Amino acid sequence: MSDERFQNEMKHLYALRDLLEQDTRLPLRLRIERGSLDFREFSLKLSGISAFVADPCSTGQSTAPAFSLNFRVPEGYPFSTIPNISFGEPVPLHPHIWTDGRICWGTAWNPRPDLQLSHWLVHVVEYLQYSQGDQSTLDINRNSLANRDALHCWDAHRKDLGRYVPPIDLARLRLHVARTCG
């Protein structure tokens, strides 16, 4: 990946952060923290979005209001590899997220030069929303699971998901991404 494209994608993430700060209807907020001098490793702190961290039927806290994402952008991105994205603590309970925080993208997510880092962030937010409503493109692939217990939880609570995980306006988030990515 050219340094120019990568720098533009980082500028887009910062522009998205600024748009979200000004948006009074969308609760999602971002904080970007550099992990390496060249920004090939960085963290995004997401707040204003809830997701399962445990089955609501278990004892204790079942959702968390904030998450940390670790991005590592390898050489070859976006033409021969995808970004490595994983969750720090707390790790969401999701069928396509391993208990150590790694995200299972499946085979449909082979190198995608059409996607920028902001688009990958939208897909992570879709994971945290568990494909609520008709505005999400997320599909739970039951044949490619990272966490079978999370699938059972999702199946058990799918009908009343909004009670536990308030939906955010994914279409509005996509609009902000489109505005920043030009």
Domain boundaries, the chain: 3-181
> What mean pLDDT comes out for the span 156-166?
83
Alpha carbon distance 70, 35 (integer Å): 9
CATH fold label, 3-181:
Ubiquitin Conjugating Enzyme (3.10.110)
Share of the chain above pLDDT 70, in %: 92
Which is it for the CA torsion 24, 119, 73, 104, positive or negative? Answer: positive
Please name the residues in contact with 123: beta carbons below 8 A apart, sequence gap of 6 or more: 138
Instruction: Give the tens place of pLDDT for each residue, 76-96.
Output: 899 988 999 999 999 999 988
Alpha carbon distance 61, 58 (integer Å): 8
For the chain, how long is the longest CA-to-CA vector? 49
Q: Residue 6: what residue type?
A: F
Share of the chain above pLDDT 90, in %: 49
CA dihedral 57, 134, 171, 113 (to 10 degrees): 100
| Distance, CA of 1 to chain centre | 22
Across the strands, what pairs with 29?
47
Task: Using pLDDT thresholds of 50, 70 and 90, give the confidence band for residue 141.
Answer: confident
C-beta of residue 130 within 8 angstroms of C-beta of residue 161? yes
pTM: 0.90
179 φ, ψ (degrees, to nearest 5) = -65, -35
